[in-house]
Amino acid sequence: MERLSADSQNALHTLAHQYLCQGKVEKAQVLLELLTLQNPDNKEFRLALGYALLRMEKAEAAIQALAPLENSPLALVHFVRAKALSQAGLTSESQAALDRYRLLLSLEPIV
């Protein structure tokens, strides 16, 4: 597969975001899978993919997509992980992720 240019990646990410906002989650998921495949270390693409999978009720896939972000200092990552873990019936893991979310949220500066 040919690598997409940075401009193409930005355009597809924007389109995926619009699809998510419009409830066209399956379309967003396809774009986000492509972007994450080409950029496995891109936290923004990976978080959006995890969110799309969560919205599609694919909890296990969301957990897997978010796994590389498990130690992220970004509170939102842990909120989405907590929701995916809860959806998968992993209550104690979900609670731990939610606790991490709350901790990180309390550390974020108020703007």
Which amino acid would we find at residue 86? S
Q: What's the CATH code, domain 6-107?
A: 1.25.40.10
Report helix angle 25-38 to 43-55, nearest 10: 150
Q: How far is CA 77 from the centre of its chain?
A: 7
- 50-87 pLDDT tens trace: 999 999 999 999 999 999 999 999 999 999 999 999 99
The pLDDT score that the predictor gives to residue 111 is 66
- pTM (predicted TM-score): 0.92
Question: Hey, where are the domains in the chain?
Answer: 6-107
Asked whether 25 and 19 are in contact (CB, 8 A), the reply is yes
Please tell me whether residue 107 adopts helix, strand or coil conformation: helix
